[in-house]
Chain A
Amino acid sequence: MTTSFSPFFSASLVTFGIALSPIVLAVDTLNVYTYDSFSSDWGPGPKIKANFEQDCDCVVNFVALDSSVGILSRVQLEGQASQADILLGLDLNLMEAAKKTGLLVNHSVDTSAVTVPGGWSDKTFLPFDQGHFAFIYNTETLLNPPTSLKDVVDNQDLRVIYQDPRTSTPGLGLLLWMKSVYGDNAAEAWERLASHTVTVTKGWSDAYGLFLKGEADVVLSYTTSPAYHMVAEGENKYQAAPASEGHYPQVEVAAMMKNAPNAALATRFMQFILQPGFQSTIATGNWMLPVVALDQALPAAFDSALAPTKNLVLPAKDVAQYRNLWVNEWLEATTR
């Protein structure tokens, strides 16, 4: 009886063992919360994963949320119980709110090599890519492109699409851009812009889609957007309009969770962010600019995005404090 039973028994034990092996042999997993286009196949995510896994003996698990804001609200939702080790892809203007959750911990990365204008000194957040907001236009259909933000606001013939600052980070970026150029006169400027605005969309995707379909002359996007069309499509007709007042920057940042289930690995990943294995994937993966100087030059398409520009940036504290006030000002001005 035992002889006939034992092979079956041992076989089932082996099968069971194989089924369980991923759990038994579990290597360390690093959970990185990021936004979807970052972790997608054509984004920088897979390359970064491969580069980091090469010498960490671990698995990088990207949790893809729908937006920069999505990352923050997800960890706020999960609270202390969150499985996240790293948050990758918060925006400059979300830093204050993210800090307030009390879920983050300081990083210990040396940021002296960071090339963000004005340098970087924040202890909680680490920049990983940068760019500037800009209005994109089609050179074939718009012969007299704007050369400043004031041009965009005042030229009543220009059909403009931008994003809602209540639902998107580029929209919030424009709100701050307007505030830093117009200051107390922002309300009147918004009113002038509203009279030739085609529409205000929920997010970047809707706006850019409408623009590519020819619904507007200019759309709010990034100085690096034309590089995508040039590198990936060989298309030169989309260009970023310069702004003589200066551009408002978008700096995307990463942070480490206080309760990171895998703190050692998370610390290592934070170090990795400023290294070539990470930074070299940014330009043609995320269509943004790296935050440290790289040995390899970026594709020529990025040249115009790299051109020096006056950097308009409002203090993060002010942004956090006055954001609601400014959003209401925008609402009042554009619905008058």
Chain B
Amino acid sequence: MFFLRTIRGLTPALLGVGVFLLIGAASLAALLRYSDFATWYEYVQQPYLWRVVRFSLWQALLSSGMSLLIAIPVASCLMHRRFVGRSLLLQLFSVSMVVPTIVAILGLVVVYGRRGWLNQLFGVEVPLYGLSGILLAHVFFNMPLAVRLLLQGYDLIPAGQWRQASQLGFSRWAAFRWIEWHYIKKTLPGAFVLIFMLCFSSFAVVLSLGGGPKSSTLEVAIYQALRFEFDLNKASFLALLQVLICSAFALLVYRMAPINRQDASLVTDSHYLVRDSNWAKGGDAVALLCAFILVIPPFLAIFDPIFSPVFLETVRSLVLWNAVFVSLKIALPAAFISVLLGVCFAVLARFCMDRAYLSKLPTKIEHLGNMILMVPGLVIATGLFLLLRDLGWGLPSSYWIVVWVNAVMALPFVLRALMPVMYQQEKRFRHLYVSLGVRSWARWRLEWPLIRMGVAQALGYALLLSLGDMGVIALFGSQGLVSLPLYLFQLIGAYRLEEGACVAVVLISLCLLLFYGSTRLVGGGTRVKH
């Protein structure tokens, strides 16, 4: 009786995950229906393909490794120190991952380019094109993401440990060595895989800053097969190859990774000081400087057009506000669906936690949600469209395809933000809830104040990602569906780079505003920490 009731309580979650799986499998199947497996052997024999795979792997490894290496000291510093502009920096960090690539590239060029600030001020010329350019851009995009993910790991450190460290007079190094590292260690593999996949399938950055076809990724080949040749057969082969490589890599990392055991102890907002020293100060300064130099100048370059005379004119145009409206029309439902899916995944995963026969499932469920990152959005969207077309609802559905694909593409980020807090609640209060018979809505009401921060952050990520989406909307754009990034590309495509830069400012400001708004409204005002 008890068991049946719990299962019934899980129905919505099972339904959510089921729908996600069903649509994913169906769109992949739709694509495979157009495939001719006999020709796949031919593709495998192309030497260029393997060169591309090798380079994709190599640059992704380097990019994700470097992002994390810089992120660790930065996160530690942000954890321990409170300074003016800290929260703004953190907001900026979350926006950096959605800056449209072309805008970010032009921003990087303004700073590091041949006639860039660095060269003008110090006479230093960075070899921007080639592997170094790719790394620079990838670290710009992903180091901030890594910092935020690590800070989430820090959140799980029980206050008691900090208190004790403070009482025992731990130095920063000792605190890091004996406390922080144990938590970072558990966060690292997930963050590493996430960033690795983002970099592995990176495409516009790699092409623009790579210097030539020598540095090309598998994603280019997929793009070409799908957009230039409409060769569904080749596209599905390449997409499957990408999934295969990424899953193999993820499997390898997770196999070596320590198991992420959740702690049940209480988290508080109080901030304990560990013993400061000149060494600690110096280390923090270096770390922060690194982060500042990497992230802030390109942002300043992006925001620079505010001072141009074109800015006011651009902001006043109706087309721009129309594009803002369309972007919101896509981003809001997409983010909502994404968080809903994320909650379904989390509820299911934490139900399986510490239960006989099921205890291995939670990480598997989490990985299932992450799988989506391995398949390019373009491929999912195409598969989904083909599926709907064969069912006879081709065109009118394109808006919902854009929304859905954006929602599932954001899922890995949503899960990263949501899972830790959800697990923690389960760990702490499961027995209490069970013994008191608190279920479903009653339980949600009790839990809400404790998880709303996580939900807010998940919503923020999903909003930002859908707001910045370029790939999927480009496939289905139409007169009524011109989003902000698409508008930006239209401007640049018509030589209007300056106006395009102004639109980019609007887009980024909107991202900041929405992220701030979601952490304030959903996350609940004063509890905003990072």
What is A's interface to B at a CB cutoff of 8 Å? 35-37, 39-43, 61-67, 69-70, 72-74, 76-79, 81, 83, 97, 164, 166-167, 194, 197-202, 204-206, 208-210, 212-215, 225, 228-229, 232, 287, 328, 330-332, 334-335
* A36 and B114 in contact, given A167-B220, A202-B204, A209-B102 (Cβ under 8 angstroms): no
A74 to B114, CA, bound (A): 38
* A201 and B495 in contact, given A164-B220, A213-B106 (Cβ under 8 angstroms): no
- B492 A214 Cβ-Cβ under 8 A: no
Q: Which residues in window 105-134 of B have CB below 8 A to A? A: 105-106, 109-110, 113-115, 128-129, 133
Complex: chain B residue closest to A204, CB-CB: B493
Complex: chain A residue closest to B223, CB-CB: A167
Contacts of A74 in B (CB 8 A): 475
- B490 A78 Cβ-Cβ under 8 A: no
A209 to B382, CA, bound (A): 29
Complex: chain B residue closest to A41, CB-CB: B319
Contacts of B479 in A (CB 8 A): 39, 61-64
- A199 B477 Cβ-Cβ under 8 A: no
Contacts of A37 in B (CB 8 A): 490, 493-494
A42 to B317, CA, bound (A): 12
What band does the interface of chain B fall in when counting residues whose beta carbon is under 8 Å from A? Answer: 35 or more
- B495 A202 Cβ-Cβ under 8 A: no
- B389 A43 Cβ-Cβ under 8 A: no
Please choose the segment from B192-200, B209-217, B242-250 that sits at the chain A interface, where 4 or more of its residues have CB less than 8 A away: B209-217
Question: Within 8 Å of chain A (Cβ to Cβ): is B444?
Answer: no
- B224 A167 Cβ-Cβ under 8 A: yes
- A331 B213 Cβ-Cβ under 8 A: yes
Main secondary structure, interface of A, reads helix
A137 to B268, CA, bound (A): 61
Q: Using an 8 Å CB-CB cutoff, how does the interface string of B70-93 with A read, 1 for contact, 0 for none? A: 000000000000000000000000
Q: Which of B129, B226, B227, B386 makes the CB contact (< 8 A) with A199?
A: B129
Complex: chain A residue closest to B133, CB-CB: A199
- A64 B204 Cβ-Cβ under 8 A: no
Question: Within 8 Å of chain A (Cβ to Cβ): is B162?
Answer: no
Contacts of A78 in B (CB 8 A): 389, 394-395
A330 to B110, CA, bound (A): 30
Most buried by A among B223, B230, B491: B230
Question: Within 8 Å of chain A (Cβ to Cβ): is B371?
Answer: no
- A81 B478 Cβ-Cβ under 8 A: no
- A205 B496 Cβ-Cβ under 8 A: no
- B482 A64 Cβ-Cβ under 8 A: yes
* A81 and B395 in contact, given A70-B227, A209-B497, A213-B113 (Cβ under 8 angstroms): yes
- B113 A215 Cβ-Cβ under 8 A: yes
Extra inter-chain contacts (14) besides given A201-B208, A208-B495, A225-B495, CB under 8 Å: A37-B493, A41-B319, A42-B494, A70-B474, A77-B475, A97-B229, A197-B212, A199-B133, A199-B211, A202-B207, A213-B110, A215-B128, A287-B494, A335-B212
- B105 A200 Cβ-Cβ under 8 A: no
Contacts of A69 in B (CB 8 A): 227-228
A-B contact pairs, 11 of them (CB 8 A): A36-B493, A72-B230, A73-B227, A73-B230, A74-B475, A81-B389, A167-B207, A206-B204, A209-B106, A210-B106, A213-B113
Q: Which of B129, B226, B489 makes the CB contact (< 8 A) with A73?
A: B226
Most buried by A among B109, B207, B210, B223: B207
Contacts of A65 in B (CB 8 A): 474, 477
Question: Within 8 Å of chain A (Cβ to Cβ): is B97?
Answer: no
Complex: chain B residue closest to A163, CB-CB: B207
Contacts of A72 in B (CB 8 A): 230
A61 to B395, CA, bound (A): 15
* A335 and B213 in contact, given A65-B477, A167-B227 (Cβ under 8 angstroms): yes
Contacts of B474 in A (CB 8 A): 65-66, 70
Question: Within 8 Å of chain A (Cβ to Cβ): is B486?
Answer: yes
Complex: chain A residue closest to B229, CB-CB: A97
Complex: chain A residue closest to B210, CB-CB: A199
- B492 A209 Cβ-Cβ under 8 A: yes
The distance from the CB of A232 to the nearest CB of chain B, in whole angstroms, is 7
Contacts of A167 in B (CB 8 A): 207, 220, 223-224, 227-228
* A215 and B477 in contact, given A199-B208, A335-B214 (Cβ under 8 angstroms): no
